[in-house]
Every structure is written in structure tokens, then in C-alpha cells.
Structure 1
Amino acid sequence: MIIRNITENDDFGAIREIYEKSWKFAYKDIVPMEWMESRPKDKWGGNILHNARTEIGAFDGDKIVGTASFGVSRWEQFSSCGEIVTIYLLPEYIGRGIGSKLMEACIEELEFLGFTEILLWVLEDNYRARRFYEKHGFICTGDYMDDNIGGKPLREVMYLRRK
């Protein structure tokens, strides 16, 4: 398994597929499936490499099987923090330690950039992800924001890790 930065030469279609399959697996009982099924393929993953974040991938040979993105916090009130924005895997690669390798790479790079605090947001009902983040030293802060995905009101909670 190789973890490296995503480049313009990588297959953005394969990256978008990771986002789509990961969302449909992780959020199947949280986010309305009708919304996920109706989402255009080119909308998954957003503006890859054009979003002010560093994006990395986990490669099994030539196949990209996971992706993560991070950078300075997108939230003005947390501008002194680094932020892990995404970590997604193809469902068949979950449980193999790849998510942990992506997480460790994000943390290492953000700490190298001088961040002593790293935050992330997670859907409150995504208990699997919350356990994963807690395993990596993140603590729920009690901060939250209300969201609406696919017409369903949802809450995101903030996690923070201090060096």
C-alpha cells in the first residue's frame, strides 16, 4: 500500500467512485439513499485538486482505494487549527488498516506544517467513524453545526486532537 499526494495524472473518475461508494456504505441509514442515488457522478468528490486542500490517496498497486484531504481549517473561528476534511475508502478495503494509514499521513503532514490542534467534523449518527477518530486521539468538543443533506436535517459534531 502506497500513500501519496493525488496529482493531475490520477484517475479522478476512480476518486469520485471512492466518494460515492463510501458515502453509500457509511451513510446508508443516515443520509437519504434517494438523494445519494440521484447525485450526478461528476458531483462526488467536489473540485478535486482545486479546493485549497492537500489530497492524498491510498494505492493498492495502480488502483486507488482510498482518499483523504486536509489543510488549514475552513472555519474562521478555528483558523489556527489544521483540519482533516475527508477520509474515504472503497467499502471492500475497510478494516485493513488503510484508513489509519491515511489518518496518520494527514496528522503527520498537518503537524509538520506547525498545527498543534487538528479538527474534523463528522455526522453525529456516524458512530463507526466517531470510534475511528477517537481511536486516533480525537475528542468530541461539544461544538456542532446543523446541516441538511438530501432534505434530511442532520447534525455534525466537531472532534479535536491536540499534539
Structure 2
Amino acid sequence: MTLSDCPRVAEIRVRGWQSAYQGLMPRSYLDGLDVAAELPRRRAHFAQAAGKGVVNLVAESAGAVVGWACHGPYRGGEPRTQDAGDIEGAGDAELYAIYVDPDRIGRGVGRALLRASVQRCAAAGHDRMLLWVLRENAGARRFYERAGFTADGTEEPYEVEGVEVPEVRYARVLEDGVIPWGG
């Protein structure tokens, strides 16, 4: 991903939320999401990622960005570490985000992005990859389970406009970076 991809990534993220979380979050909240407001956040996050081990990836089709994923060091709780002195490759990685243009869902874009993130994290020496998914998002949960992730029993509260939408943590051991989808 480059800084010039941020406008399209902002659009994919907003449209992704509006599509994936329909019926799971208040409609007023989803309708209020705005690409113009999201763009400065994407640019700031992209700029802040430099030097912190955060990797932003985009998937392209015919030169157009059709998906985005972001991963890096695990951000929450008490991450496991192999050796406290081993900064590079120590401990767990986290998939922070993965979004596909809603018009491209089901065409392998998400699988390609997740595969690339898993492979990069395994190559960096991370033990596991963790991610958070809305508990009621059955489609996303199936997607991650097909990729070898399992719910580890950890849940976090999450609230949007007074509506509880708890998240479930998923984990996957990164022995070799291969995802069960193959290739």
C-alpha cells in the first residue's frame, strides 16, 4: 500500500462496514459513516505505521484497489513472547483489519489478503495471529474458521450508539504460514 491508495482504502473500509455490519450495528451509525471523514484517519494511520511493524496491504484488479488488510504486533492484553530480548519476530501478531469492496466479495480477494498477511507474519517469526470479529458476524467467523482460525474464548465488550456488539477473539498458530485454502 502507498499513501496514494488511502482514498480508495477509506472508501472500501466505509462501504465494507456498511455492508458487513448491516443488521449488526445501528443503521443510523452505518449511514453516518463518511469516506471524506475516514480519509484523514487512513492517512494518519498509514503515516504512523512506519517503523512500528505495521503492514498495510492492498489487493488490486486491473490496476484498481479492491481490498485492504492491515496487520502488525498484537495490541491488547498480555501478548505471549518467545524471548523478551527478541524484538523482531517476538510474540503474537494481530490482523487489525481486512476489507474487500462489497462488489468483489466471494471472488478470492479476502482470501488472498489473509493469506499474504499470515505468510508475512509467519516469516517475521510470530507465534500466532490474533484477530477480533463481531460475535454475531457469522459470515466473517466462517471465513476465518476456513482459514484455520479458532475462537479462543476471549470476548470484549463493544458498544455502538448504545447497542452492544461484542467481539470474539480468534487465534491461529503460524507454524508455516500455509492457509488450508491451499496455494
**Normalization by structure 1: what TM-score?**
0.90
Residue of structure 1 equivalent to 2:136: 125
Which one of 4, 7, 18 corresponds to residue 2 of structure 2? 7
Counterparts of 1:144 and 1:89 in 2: how far apart (Å)? Answer: 25
2:58–2:68 Cα contact (<8 Å) kept: yes
Which one of 98, 114, 132 corresponds to residue 109 of structure 2? 98
Q: Highest Rg: 1 or 2?
A: 2
Counterparts of 1:138 and 1:51 in 2: how far apart (Å)? Answer: 28
Query: What SS is found at the alignment partner of 1:50?
Result: helix
Query: What SS is found at the alignment partner of 1:11?
Result: helix
Query: What SS is found at the alignment partner of 1:87?
Result: strand
Letter in 2 for 1:28: Q
Letter in 2 for 1:72: P
Counterparts of 2:15 and 2:140 in 1: how far apart (Å)? Answer: 15
Give the unaligned 5+ runs of structure 2. Answer: 81-90, 176-183
- CA deviation vs aligned residue, 1:87-124 (integer Å, no higher than 9, x gap): 10011100011110000000000011101211000000
Counterparts of 2:5 and 2:72 in 1: how far apart (Å)? Answer: 22
Residue of structure 1 equivalent to 2:56: 55
Which one of 89, 94, 97 corresponds to residue 86 of structure 1? 97
With over 3 angstroms needed to count, the CA separation of the structure-2 counterparts of 1:51 and 1:131, relative to structure 1, is farther
Matches within 5 A, 1:125-144: 125-144=136-155
Residue of structure 2 equivalent to 1:33: 27
Counterparts of 1:78 and 1:156 in 2: how far apart (Å)? Answer: 18
Query: What SS is found at the alignment partner of 2:11?
Result: helix
Counterparts of 2:132 and 2:24 in 1: how far apart (Å)? Answer: 15
Which one of 8, 16, 26 corresponds to residue 22 of structure 1? 16
Which one of 165, 173, 178 corresponds to residue 154 of structure 1? 165
- Report the alpha carbon displacement of residue 51 of structure 1 after superposing the two structures with TM: 4.1
Q: Percent identity?
A: 30
Residue of structure 2 equivalent to 1:72: 73
Aligned residues: 157
Detail structure 1 runs of 4+ shifted over 6 Å in the superposition. Answer: none
Counterparts of 2:35 and 2:69 in 1: how far apart (Å)? Answer: 19
1:12–1:48 Cα contact (<8 Å) kept: no
Counterparts of 2:131 and 2:45 in 1: how far apart (Å)? Answer: 19
Counterparts of 1:67 and 1:151 in 2: how far apart (Å)? Answer: 29
What RMSD over aligned residues (CA atoms) do the two structures have, in Å? 1.5
Residue of structure 2 equivalent to 1:3: none
**1 or 2, which has the higher strand percentage?**
1
